[in-house]
Each structure stands twice: as structure tokens, then as C-alpha cells.
Amino acid sequence: MSKLDEAAKRLQKAVTALEKAARTKSENERAALSGTSESDLSAARDKAGDLEALNASVAERLDLAILRVKDILDK
């Protein structure tokens, strides 16, 4: 078997493996999405919004605490 034939065979195996991986990923994504209802998505969005608000509040309090510590250290 020539080097070209060997390379072509390796390339074909690689392409086949990539196609299989793409199919598997696509099937897994479809399965995950089909199990998610609209109410679940809405609840997740609401929770994400709550967490973003909490994150902003905590970040603001941390910023204030850092400023107070800096003021104390500068004295």
C-alpha cells in the first residue's frame, strides 16, 4: 500500500469519526432540549434574573467594603 493510500485511509477514518461525533452531539442536544418544557425555561430565566440582581448587590457591598479597608489602611 502506498503512502498516499495510507493517508487517504487515515483521512477517511478521521472524517468518519468526526461525522459520528457530530451526530452524537446533535442527538444529545436534541434529547436535552426535548426534555425541557417552556415553564422550566421560564423558571430558569427567572432564577437567572434573581441571581444577577443578587450578584450586583453583593458586588456593590464588596466594593464599599474594599473602599473602607483602603481608607483604614491609608490612615
Query: What is the DSSP secondary structure assignment for residue 35, as one 8-state letter?
Result: T
pLDDT digits (tens, 9 = 90+) for 5-59: 888 889 999 999 989 888 888 777 776 767 777 788 889 999 999 999 999 999 9
pLDDT at 23: 86
The CA distance from 26 to 34, in Å, is 12
Residue ranges per domain, the chain?
1-35, 38-75
pLDDT at 33: 67
pLDDT at 48: 95
pLDDT at 58: 95
